[in-house]
């Protein structure tokens, strides 16, 4: 649920919350949980900045803040370049075993092309290596090729 309002200057203010996020770490769902996350952000053109607060970032109830800045720029026609920078900041004591104890930066750079309601993208992404993550290589980097469909 959220609310966005465009000001006369073209700046968009966006606030809200997302609930019932479900994360599964194993097929038997032993580590699955639900979360409620609130957010606030601003957007203008291809630039956006958001702050997210999660009172239950992991299954142990740890709190966290996540800040992100995203930039999207039209190259030509349906081609776009994009960049993302984010920072996860744990709040309070860190419960074991996997919760980060220090700030965790992440980022990505890529290009995308739209085909009506379908978008294809190629990106390089980097994040700290987490002990439970098979998505990133040893250096915490990955090249991602993806397709999304909007409806």
pLDDT of residue 135 exceeding 60? no
Mean pLDDT for 11-28 is: 73
Closest CA to 46 of 9, 75, 82: 82
Q: Is the model's pTM score more than 0.75? A: yes
Percent of the chain with pLDDT over 90: 52
CB-based contacts of 69, cutoff 8 Å, min separation 6: 47, 48, 49, 84, 85, 86
Whether the Cβ atoms of residue 65 and residue 55 lie closer than 8 Å to each other: no
- Tens of pLDDT, residues 89-102: 888 765 555 555 67
Name which of 34-43, 50-59, 132-141 the model is least confident about.
132-141
Whether the Cβ atoms of residue 14 and residue 2 lie closer than 8 Å to each other: yes
Closest CA to 133 of 21, 25, 23: 25
């Amino acid at each position: 649920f959220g609310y966005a309002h465009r000001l006369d200057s073209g700046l968009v203010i966006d606030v809200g919350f997302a609930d019932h996020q479900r994360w599964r770490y194993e097929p038997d769902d032993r580590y699955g949980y639900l979360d409620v996350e609130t957010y606030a952000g601003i957007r203008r053109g291809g630039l956006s900045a958001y702050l997210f607060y999660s009172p239950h970032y992991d299954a142990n109830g740890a709190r966290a803040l996540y800040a992100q800045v995203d930039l999207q720029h039209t190259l030509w026609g349906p081609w776009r370049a994009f960049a993302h920078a984010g920072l996860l900041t744990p709040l309070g004591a860190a419960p074991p075993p996997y919760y980060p104890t220090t700030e965790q930066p992440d980022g990505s750079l890529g290009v995308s092309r739209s085909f009506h309601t379908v978008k294809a993208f190629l990106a390089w992404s980097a994040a700290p290596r987490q002990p439970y993550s098979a998505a990133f290589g040893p250096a915490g980097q990955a090249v991602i090729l993806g397709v999304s469909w909007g409806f």
